[in-house]
Amino acid sequence: MKPKHRKIATRQRTRSAVAYRTRSTSMTLMSLSKKGMPSLQKQKRARPSQALTNIIGCRISHEWKEGNEPVTQWKGIVLDQLPTNSSLYLVKYDGIDCVYGLELQSDKRISKLKIMPKKVSFPQVTDINLENTIVGKAVEHKFEGKNGCKDEWKGMVLAQVPIMKTWYYITYKKDPVLYIYQLLDDYIDGNLHIITDSLTTEMKSEVGTDALTGNSVEYAQGDGTQRIGKIIYQVPDTPSIHFIKFDDDTHIYVYDLVKKIW
């Protein structure tokens, strides 16, 4: 796993070639791959694996060993469990801003997994006005860049994190993976600007029920190679946008499967 950090100067851009695409040009649904999985939007969770039942909100630690790379130590918190794959968890690691999708119990790269029995307590007081203002909106987010300069990144605020009411899921055009930030201070300080107010309504009118979650997909990259993955989540406030987990990657990618949003 390679961390992605908040400051633009330290962002890894190697994955930025994977951008928002329309399904007709680069994303292909694999036939007969829908297995009747419920969507997260319907709030019907599949039965979790017995060994890791009810760990959402728990802190974890483990070692990570990939190929010939040295063993690294990781600590974080489990954010959610995906109904399309009950063994797949969304995890935020300490000091890292992107969200990872991992099968904590079965991934052979993970060892010495420890789950803290006491769940972390987060403030549940939320700013409803902020949530209604920014969720589902395209934004410009200012980050500290080189030499103290601020760089603006276009992105979209996707949703409030269910167990962490002051945190939000967000993604960026230059780096379309899933990030998690506390956005209230950025919004108040003028470092988060809404750039459109019509996107959510437009998308909701075009997309109905969740018919794609659980499907496997093939993604054609610019170099001609293909990646295989699965659609794991539909964003309720912008239903054309889905999360995709590729088989060869631990990051969660964000795609508009109907149209480009920029």
pLDDT at 10 over 50: no
pLDDT at position 26 is 65
pLDDT at position 97 is 94
Query: pLDDT (tens digit, 9 = 90+) per residue, 79-106?
Result: 999 888 889 999 999 999 999 999 999 9
The shares of helix, strand and coil residues in the chain, as percent rounded to the nearest 5, are 10, 40, 50
Total-model pTM: 0.78
Query: pLDDT (tens digit, 9 = 90+) per residue, 220-253?
Result: 888 888 999 999 999 988 888 999 999 999 999 9
Q: Between residues 21 and 227, which one has the greater pLDDT?
A: 227
Cβ burial of 214 (10 Å; 0-12, 13-18, 19+) is buried
Q: Which residues pair with 73 in a beta bridge?
A: 63
pLDDT at position 60 is 97
> What's the pLDDT band for 27 if we cut at 50, 70, 90?
low
pLDDT at position 125 is 64
CB neighbours of residue 233 within 10 Å: 29
Write down all domains in the chain, each with its CATH number in brackets: 40-115 (2.80.10.70)
CA pair distance 23, 232, nearest whole angstrom: 16
Q: What integer is the mean pLDDT of 183-192? A: 90
pLDDT at position 198 is 46
Q: What percent of the chain has pLDDT over 90?
A: 44
CA pair distance 133, 94, nearest whole angstrom: 28
pLDDT at position 23 is 38
Token pair belonging to 201: 């309504």
pLDDT at position 54 is 86
Token pair belonging to 181: 């930030």
Q: Between residues 249 and 206, which one has the greater pLDDT?
A: 249
